């Protein structure tokens, strides 16, 4: 259940969600990527003082979950419950700051909301029932027209050929809402980011939309799923079920007799400011077309932003359970640490385009930028403060601490640059701004040579002590800004930095009349 609330504030609210994965197999690195990207956005919003809510969960009602349970000789309920826990465990392994986790088969908030959204669309006249004859990809949980498949007859993401399926389902009048969906995206009222993904969605809309199936025969899934209201012979299509989690987690469809049950929905969705989804490119049409149409049909507000990321690959292939290329994030964390994995996601994964994962790249990024860059800068700075000033940070005006020049510019611009980059979910650009401070501080340190200033001070050279104070103050200030701005990306490492840079409570430091730093301790030990 959630732990955060939207409080009265002048700052805009920020509700951010991941897509919810199927639980037919182990979590893989692709799931971890999306969770970390979303966590960075949530932590950054909180760092800037915004009321924030971060939702993730699991998609339990997929047919592939039913098939996996059968193959394992388990009941679907038992199998899903066990697998859901594996995804919950990612919170600790990846140091996630989630406020809520929704399991679609177990959370009591979910089914009433699915049923409520269905009824609203039914009241709008957007359902009809008919027989369907088509090609169904079990991996995508989606019907495809023949022209949408590649030359081999596959969807492009899954190896098995789509199954020819003939069945009678409920259909949603997607075509009725095509013009409105297009207008919402083209106008920017619903922002699909990056622009290349927005253009792909607009091209898909311009090609024309057909109504799509929103239910499945209950016999096909052994009754696993949410029954269609008024028609228990059918269960709600897994994508309808899954998409609805973004609002069911907020109390949508809750008991109207409970006046407080839907407070979260009013605070974070219908009355909220930013409603942001972070998703992979393979499910863009569901979020940027189908989901918008369902909400329009029901008369509900739309998301404000849909950030679309590409894939993590290994050997040029998408990481996936079905392809046998999955990389388990928990095992990576056990071997190399959470900081290394989160930093690799932030630094190696581009805003547009797939990212090739290797252990060598993971280790190199960590050792070069965290160990040799951030860690070395903080270690050198604290060593100098302790040797020259017994751990006491010189008390200089803040203007001198940030100062002019390359270092002052990097420190002064970092918040604005990071804010702009993360508005686009561009973690690489955001961390680049933090790296510029580290690089500038290291160059400043080497140019000013505070160890020589200390020698000159001891020799009684006029002005050497004052200059040393300024240099040390500016370096400590830069390190503290780095620690703060790194906290959304590597929260564990940033916390260790803060322990050294702010070793005592602020009140204690003020009472003593001194601003102290702790002794240098390796924050990011090398991995190789």
Give me the active site residues, please: 28, 31, 137, 140, 155, 158, 318, 321
CB under 8 A, 24+ apart: contacts of 203-206: 204/285, 204/289, 205/178, 205/181, 205/289, 206/182
Which of these, 397, 220, 181, 452, lies nearest to 302 by C-alpha position? 181
Q: Write out the two tokens for 173.
A: 């009048």
For residue 27, which of 402, 328, 453 has the smallest C-alpha distance?
328
Alpha-carbon distance of 35 to 43, in angstroms, equals: 12
SS3 115: helix
Distance of alpha carbon 381 from alpha carbon 384, whole angstroms = 5
Q: How far is CA 518 from CA 372, 394, 497, 526, in A?
A: 20, 14, 10, 21
Beta bridge partners of 192: 306
The values of phi and psi at residue 31, to 5°, are -65, -45
Nearest Cα to Cα of residue 318 among 345, 356, 347: 356
CB 316 within 8 Å of CB 337: no
**Is the separation of the CB atoms in 478 and 441 below 8 Å?**
yes
Output the 3-class SS for 192-236.
EECHHHHHHHHHHHHCCCCCEECEEEHHHHCCCCCEECCEEEEEE
Gap between the Cα atoms of 80 and 23, Å rounded: 7
Contact between 226 and 111 under an 8 Å Cβ cutoff? The reply is yes
The DSSP annotation for 284-349 comes to HHIIIIIHHHHHHHHT-PPPSEEEEE--EEETTEE--TTTT----HHHHHHHH-HHHHHHHHHHHS
Is residue 25 exposed (0-12), middle (13-18) or buried (19+ Cβ within 10 Å)?
A: middle
CB 205 within 8 A of CB 175: no
Cβ–Cβ < 8 Å for 326, 281: no
Task: Report the alpha-carbon distance of residue 247 to residue 32 in Å, rounded.
Answer: 23
Determine how many CB atoms are found less than 10 A away from the CB of residue 10. 5
Q: Tokens standing for 228?
A: 């269609």
* Three-state secondary structure string covering 348-378: HCCCCCCEECCHHHHHHHHHHHHHHHHHHHH
């Amino acid at each position: 259940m959630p732990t955060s609330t939207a409080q009265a504030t002048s700052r805009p609210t920020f509700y951010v969600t991941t897509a919810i994965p199927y639980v037919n197999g182990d979590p893989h690195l692709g799931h971890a990527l999306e969770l970390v990207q979303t966590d960075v956005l949530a932590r950054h919003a909180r760092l800037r003082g915004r009321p924030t809510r971060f939702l993730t969960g699991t998609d339990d009602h997929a047919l592939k979950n039913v098939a996996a349970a059968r193959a394992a000789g388990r009941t679907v309920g038992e199998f899903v419950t066990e697998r859901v826990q594996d995804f919950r465990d990612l919170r600790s392994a990846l140091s996630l700051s989630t406020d809520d986790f929704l399991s679609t088969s177990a959370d009591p908030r979910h089914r009433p909301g699915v049923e409520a959204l269905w009824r609203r669309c039914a009241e709008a006249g957007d359902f009809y029932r008919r027989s369907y004859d088509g090609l169904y990809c079990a991996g995508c949980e989606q019907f495809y027209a023949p022209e949408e498949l590649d030359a081999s007859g596959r969807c492009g993401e899954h190896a098995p050929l789509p199954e020819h399926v003939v069945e009678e389902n409920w259909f949603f009048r997607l075509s009725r809402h095509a013009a409105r969906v297009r207008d919402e995206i083209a106008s920017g009222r619903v922002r699909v980011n990056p622009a290349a993904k927005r253009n792909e969605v607009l091209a898909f809309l311009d090609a024309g939309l057909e109504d799509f199936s929103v239910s499945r025969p209950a016999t096909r899934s052994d009754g696993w799923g949410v029954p269609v209201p008024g028609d228990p012979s059918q269960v709600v299509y897994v994508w309808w079920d899954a998409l609805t989690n973004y609002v069911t987690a907020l109390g949508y469809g809750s008991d109207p007799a409970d006046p407080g049950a839907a407070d979260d929905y009013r605070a974070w969705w219908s009355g909220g400011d930013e409603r942001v989804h972070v998703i992979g490119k393979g499910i863009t049409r569901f979020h940027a077309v189908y989901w918008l149409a369902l909400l329009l049909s029901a008369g509900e507000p739309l998301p404000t932003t849909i950030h679309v990321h590409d894939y993590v690959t290994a050997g040029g292939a998408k990481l996936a359970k079905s392809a046998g290329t999955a990389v388990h994030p928990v095992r990576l964390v056990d071997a190399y640490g959470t900081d290394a994995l989160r930093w690799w996601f932030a630094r190696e994964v581009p805003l547009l385009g797939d990212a090739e994962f290797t252990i060598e790249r993971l280790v190199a990024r960590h050792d070069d930028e965290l160990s040799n860059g951030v860690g070395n800068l903080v270690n050198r700075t604290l060593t100098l403060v302790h040797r020259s000033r017994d751990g006491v940070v010189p008390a200089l005006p803040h203007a001198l601490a940030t100062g002019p020049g390359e270092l002052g510019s990097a420190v002064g611009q970092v918040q604005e640059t990071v804010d702009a980059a993360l508005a686009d979910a561009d973690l690489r650009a955001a961390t680049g701004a933090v790296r510029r401070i580290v690089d500038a501080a290291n160059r400043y340190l080497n140019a000013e040579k505070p160890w020589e200033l200390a020698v000159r001070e001891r020799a009684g050279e006029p002005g050497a002590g004052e200059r040393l104070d300024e240099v040390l103050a500016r370096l400590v200030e830069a390190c503290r800004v780095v620690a703060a701005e790194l906290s959304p990306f590597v929260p564990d490492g940033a916390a260790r930095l803060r322990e050294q840079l702010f070793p005592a409570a602020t009140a204690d430091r003020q009472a003593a009349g001194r601003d102290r730093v702790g002794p240098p301790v390796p924050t990011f030990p090398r991995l190789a």
